[in-house]
Amino acid sequence: MTDDIMEGGGKIKKFLYVNRRAPYGTIYALESLEVVLIAAAFEQDVSLAFIDDGVYEIVKGQDTKGTEMKNFSPTYRALEGYDVEKLYVEKESMEARGLTEKDFLVPVQVLTAGEMADLMESQDVVLSF
Amino acid sequence: MKLAVLVNEGPYTHQASDTAYQFTKAALEKGHEIFRVFFYHDGVNNGTRLMVPPSDDRNIQKRWTELAEKHKLDLVLCIAAAQRRGLLDDSEAERHGKDASNIAPGFRISGLGQLIEAGIQADRLVTFGD
């Protein structure tokens, strides 16, 4: 990947990764996280949003033994080490699922749907998974 | 305008790849530049040369390959997504001790960094898929 790192050409853009799906059942959440980890090497302005079932991706206490899926949730705690610290959860999605901020593995900022829309509007590149 | 395209779904199951192809073709015909087409998730399956659709239907792989040849398009399959799903070029097949490769002409396999670079370099990154 070292070649890639040089190819950004010094530009810094605002990247928002929108996570909309449950962590298991489909591969989107896992492969989204893989993009975020690679992207961290590019020194861009990175934010993550969790909406809809995506809020389940960062819920504490995930246990995947019964389904033989890889539990990748500890990786979200490593994001801080990659300077990925702007994590946003949509309030409506969180509340509709009976969750509170205390249920999450990582510190998050809770935004209303309207605030989330403003956040998306302010970005250069929005990747939705 | 300089555009980049992200294809997130496989061929035939979803129309996303068809729409991405039509979009890319139309953009090129209008004189826009396509910086790169990046295939992720099941989208990597668009790049297998082993697909054999019925003869009265479109051949999605061949269509991409021909467009790439005509316009010198950069078609990139994500290596991590490709390996999971059994998409290999010659060197990857050799490296992993597999007896064959299946990547189609006009496609290449590379890292996710190529997607990020496309996002940085292009004026717009357009996603196709759910």
Please report, for chain A, the start and end positions of each structural domain, with discontinuous segments joined by +: 13-128
Look at residue B76 in the predicted model and tell me its pLDDT: 98
Catalytic residues of B: 78
Look at residue A30 in the predicted model and tell me its pLDDT: 96
**Which of A7, A31, A124 minimises the CB distance to B40?**
A31
Chain B residues with a Cβ under 8 Å from any Cβ in chain A = 6, 8, 40-41, 80-81, 111-117, 119-121, 125, 127
**Which of B80, B112, B117 minimises the CB distance to A7?**
B117
Q: To which H or E segment does residue B78 belong?
A: strand B75-78
Q: Are A73 and A105 in contact (CB under 8 A)?
A: yes
Mean pLDDT along residues A67-74: 95
Q: pLDDT category, A9, cuts 50, 70, 90?
A: low
Mean pLDDT along residues B58-79: 98
Q: How far away is chain B from the Cα of A60, in angstroms, using its nearest Cα? A: 26
Is the model's pLDDT at A79 over the cut of 80?
Answer: yes
Q: pLDDT category, B109, cuts 50, 70, 90?
A: very high
Domain span holding position B50: 2-128
**Which of A13, A38, A124 minimises the CB distance to B113?**
A38
Q: To which H or E segment does residue B110 belong?
A: strand B107-110
Q: How many domains does chain B have?
A: 1
Q: What is the pTM of this model?
A: 0.92
Q: Which two tokens stand for residue B97?
A: 């001790």
Cα distances (Å, whole numbers) of residue B68 to B39, B64, B106, B109, B123: 14, 6, 6, 15, 20
CATH number for the region A13-128 comes to 3.40.1260.10
What is the Cα–Cα distance from A11 to B38, expressed in whole angstroms?
A: 20
Look at residue A6 in the predicted model and tell me its pLDDT: 47
Q: Are B2 and B120 in contact (CB under 8 A)?
A: no
What is the Cα–Cα distance from B100 to B24, expressed in whole angstroms?
A: 30
User: Are B120 and A11 a contacting pair at CB < 8 A?
Assistant: yes
Question: Is ipTM over 0.85?
Answer: yes
**Mean pLDDT estimate for chain B:** 97
Find the CATH number of the domain harbouring B84.
3.40.1260.10
User: Are A39 and B127 a contacting pair at CB < 8 A?
Assistant: no
Q: Which single residue is written with the structure tokens 């196709």?
A: B128
